[in-house]
Structure 1
């Protein structure tokens, strides 16, 4: 059995964490290297001075021994405590020094040959050993302080960079959500005389892109609105003139096409208002079940309404009716009967039993002026439904059913725009689910259920 892979916390992937780890590792490595170099250098120099001192004393004691004079108390022949290795070295006729413990204290020994025995001298090495230990503690303490100070300074510098990156990412998300007025406004990009780093370059490029995109979209919105407004007047006259034509098939065709053009013009105007994002919402409290039934009756279509659980919602009735009306009309135009509208709490589902939504709609949502297989329609119905749902704070989700039952279970049910192209698993029909924010009255106490 394969062991589960250990996953690190999400914060370990941040740039601040990585920079802190890198700085800490580099500081530790540098401190260790410098500490070792200083320790080796100072220890070597201290030992060298002690050896020179010991050998000098050994030379003086050797001269006294050869002259037959009494030896100082810090010297002797084969004295007690002389390290065995140093004794053996002197027995071979060589001179040497060694640091060893004598009577519990560090001692520097120096020994040389004397008539087949070892003539040795010693002196206290405690102060030199304590000096080296104090140096090691100083190196360790200063290294810790240096690492801490470097981490603080590095974290401060990196945090300033990451904060600017987070701000840039936040502005990018706001732009992708539709707020085209969002800008980073990095002061380094506004003042050309100031040096620019990589973050400032990215921020400036994002602001430039957002400005260009805003100008382009505003130009398209103005063009759409201007075209729709310019078409309204001649279409009104054309509609009036078409009603004066004598009855017959040509008159019906003309009136039908004029009506289609007027509907398209009104849809274009509505989309231009939605794109401008300046729509005012008229909120009120409504019962969702009766409102859905009223929309079905107004549509004049054979649509079944099922209320599993009614709910009270606070919404804009006109916009909600527009959304439901578009979904129902789209289901009858592009789907197949029966079309069922189900109310289950604050969720309304509209479902047909046609081939389902096309794959592009499920992947990226409705697209304007796109139809499948030459189907009728201009692709604005569901686009308007999505826009109006966003205005009233509702969630509109499109899916294809998988052989689901239409019983009162509150499952997704809906309509498919231009669904002549059968999507994968579309045999269950097209499903559109509209979830509204439910209204909760603070004056009504909660009811306990068994």
Structure 2
């Protein structure tokens, strides 16, 4: 059974919490005030009834007249009250059902052994209790409403600051190292969000310093290797013809290509590259470049488009995607142009799960069937060049065919507007329609 996750904002959670606490406090106080007021009214009713009984007894003993509806030996006199009077004591008794005004009895023994009693319910006095309950109810509703409003106000402010911090963190993840979370959230109030922002900024600075150090080391190593590798390649050209010479030249050329790729990755990681834009007829451009890369590659122009992009970088991306499909997939390799979208597909085992989940990474070739075949730099360079163009490069696997084959699908989405910076689109996996 799949559980359903209810996602609510901090604003509403805080509002609900304040409203709940306010409601509980209001209910508790209302009950305490109601009970205290009722007990006070009942005690006051007993006192009033005793005063009336004393006055009535004096009048009766003097004039033999009864006041306030008093009775002698009332047959309705409660047994408990009658027992108290039988012991020679004045007493009161309440018949309280908790709803209407209670009936208050008062009784006293007479000299002749009879019992003088009064019986009243004082409904006017307990009408005040109804008004008090109504006032307490209105006050409780006002407290809950004020709590909700306060929760929305406070929670909204806090939620807004957290959302700004999350947006700044996303910019950092996309490579914008100039972003500072503390500046993004703003505000004069200093709270836990400021501590979070300072911690994120410190983490960003530390990571950026480490990444920059690693990039410089990589670039320096590659730069230092370029000269001896070039010399090695030149020396290989002077060797006499033969199979050993061909092997040396092949390995020297592979090493030179690796060094150049590492330098290119280092430059792309520095976010210093800029696109040199030209207007390009995308369909014809792709057709010519693919024809030069491999005559067996199928090209389909579904819909042509004119784009403003850097032809050299676009050719680099296209070449790396086709080289990856040819090296790691199976024929036929298909290239499709549909407007501003270029799709490269092979019919091999598809991209490894790690690449689909995390994107391309240098010196990681993916699954075991690709081990030892490439250095993982081709797709990394393609992704970096796509960022410079302001484009988006996505990777996914096609739906399985009847024979069980899938195929890797790389899709390049060129922007509608010419890039003005190094781009900010992340390399992600999109489901897309099956090919």
Task: Please give the TM-score of this superposition, normalised by the length of structure 2.
Answer: 0.76
- 1:30 Cα shift? 1.5
Aligned to 2:412: 434
- 1:301 Cα shift? 4.7
Aligned to 2:165: 168
- 1:324 Cα shift? 0.9
Could you give the per-residue CA deviations for residues 194-223 of structure 1, whole angstroms, max 9, x where no partner exists? 9x9654544443333222111110111111
Q: Is the 8 A contact 1:285 1:439 kept in 2?
A: no
Aligned to 1:184: 181
Aligned to 2:389: 392
Q: Is the 8 A contact 2:332 2:347 kept in 1?
A: yes
Task: Please give the TM-score of this superposition, normalised by the length of structure 1.
Answer: 0.74
1:54 aligns with 2:52: no
1:40 aligns with 2:35: yes
Question: SS of 2:405's equivalent?
Answer: helix
Partners of 1:264 and 1:150 lie apart in 2 by: 65
Could you give the per-residue CA deviations for residues 423-444 of structure 1, whole angstroms, max 9, x where no partner exists? xx9724333233334689xxxx
Partners of 2:291 and 2:106 lie apart in 1 by: 115
Q: Which moved more, 1:346-355 or 1:237-246?
A: 237-246
Unaligned runs of 5+ in 2: 86-90, 419-435
Q: How does 1:15-414 map to 2 (within 5 A)?
A: 15-72=10-67, 74-77=68-71, 86=77, 94=85, 96=92, 110=106, 119-121=116-118, 125=122, 128-185=125-182, 199-371=193-365, 372=368, 374-402=371-399, 404=401
Could you give the per-residue CA deviations for residues 127-179 of structure 1, whole angstroms, max 9, x where no partner exists? 53344344334433443444444444455444444444334333333333333
- 1:290 Cα shift? 0.9
Residues 329 and 186 (structure 1), Cα distance of their counterparts in 2 relative to 1, 3 Å cut: closer
Residues 85 and 319 (structure 1), Cα distance of their counterparts in 2 relative to 1, 3 Å cut: farther
Residues 330 and 250 (structure 1), Cα distance of their counterparts in 2 relative to 1, 3 Å cut: same
Partners of 2:36 and 2:347 lie apart in 1 by: 88
Could you give the per-residue CA deviations for residues 302-336 of structure 1, whole angstroms, max 9, x where no partner exists? 32222233333343222211111111222223333
What is the number of residues matched between the two proteins? Answer: 403
Partners of 2:108 and 2:76 lie apart in 1 by: 12
| Root-mean-square deviation over aligned CA pairs | 4.0
Unaligned runs of 5+ in 1: 189-193, 406-424, 441-450
